[in-house]
Amino acid sequence: MRTTKIFSLEKPEEFKEHLLEWSRQFDEIAWLDSNQHRPESSAYDAVLALQAFTAVKTDYHNAFDQLQEYQETTQDWIFGYLSYDLKNDVEVLTSANFDGLHFPELYFFQPQKLFLLKGDQLEVQYLRMVDDEIDADLEEIHQLSVPEIIENKEEGKSPILARIPKEAYLEKVRAMLAHIQRGDIYEANFCQEFYAENRDIDAFEVFKELNKISVPPFATFLKLEGHYLLSASPERYMKKTGEKIMSQPIKGTARRSADKEEDQAIAEALANDPKEQSENVMIVDLVRNDLSKIAKRGSVRVDELCKVYSFEQVHQMISTVTATLEDAIPPVEVLRSTFPMGSMTGAPKISAMKIIEELEESKRGLYSGAVGYFTPDGDFDFNVVIRSILYNSRDKYVSFSVGGAITAQSIPEKEYEECLLKAKAMKQVLS
């Protein structure tokens, strides 16, 4: 079905830049970049999938059934996303909030052209209908000159606005706390949208700048029919390798400091913060419960609990939960059984999602959904769509959302400050 060729690269990082720049000409693009973070945890350093041969695009109705049929029928590489609103396919829930982006709720495509990078090795897989283009494409990529990142110089840019004013946000957090005090929930992830209307952006340049200042382990550039995702996500949702499945929820965020000693002190304070630890442990318990539905009895393990990792913009508290998949569970069922991810919902999950829908003012859409790929063998790797800019080029609508876990210990003002900290990189590249 595919023609595969393997090449050695003298300058892998330079080739990556050329490859992304060369991809501009295509209508369907999925670019995934680990930015050299923990290379042992990702199958590839970077992946580029181009030019849809087939695709599936749908709203939430029977979305997971359609995805399963598509994945099992193609038995090939497929790339795409699950929007947060697929919650309505797995539970009796609704999404009625404002939507300025109008993305399909699920979109996957089978690429004609595929590039897989690991170390200094490049694996190229083209469908046979286009495999006579491999050598010419590689020659074109190598000879491409990559311009320096250029500042986005829109004239008279429309401002970035908050969908929820600060005082209204604080009031909504207090309402969330009242739900917690009544015992409706223990924790919920509450998010707010920042947006700009009538904006033309060069999505490639904005993504390159966002990736440069954030250097995340799950960077993604996605272009599908005028819908763009520019993601600097630090979080893995779910990975499947053979029978092994792994989730790495994030809960707990602290700022970085240019002063080395102060930065170390901030990281240590995060690691020892009881509120942040309790947030993380609650979500780990939720993930363990989700995985137990599809895992072999006794195989769900917490390999790493509340470990602090440092990124360019923030310190994050991350846990790693693994399990062995029960026999005869289809790959898509792993996603259906665990979606949406606990780190973006709360506990108990269904109650939290109902309260989130009631208090938030924007439809989440792809934000707090997942982007990734399936291999022909049914393995997969998906990130969590956070620290991300969403762009509808036809409607000229730009959006990014940020949020945090609200628990009984939450202080509304501090939650608002955490949102601004998470929004910093996106605001910077759009301002």
Helix/strand/coil for 32? strand
Point out which residues pair with 8 in neighbouring strands. 121
As a whole number of Å, the CA-based R_g of the chain is: 21
Closest by alpha carbon to 326, among 291, 294, 302, 289? 294
Q: First CA to last CA across the chain, in angstroms?
A: 45
Active site residue 357: no
Residue with tokens 């979109």: 107
CB 349 within 8 A of CB 282: no
Catalytic residue among 251, 349, 354, 422: 251
What the block records as the tokens of 92 is: 């009796």
The residue type found at 397 is Y
User: Could you tell me how many residues make up the chain?
Assistant: 431
- Verify whether residue 427 is a known catalytic residue: no
Between strands 227-233 and 388-392, the pairing is: antiparallel
| H/E stretch holding 345 | none
Q: Given 235, 276, 279, 357, which residue is catalytic?
A: 235
Backbone angles phi, psi at 391, to 5 degrees: -145, 125
Estimate to the nearest angstrom the gap between the alpha carbon of 166 and the chain centroid: 26
- Catalytic residue set: 235, 251
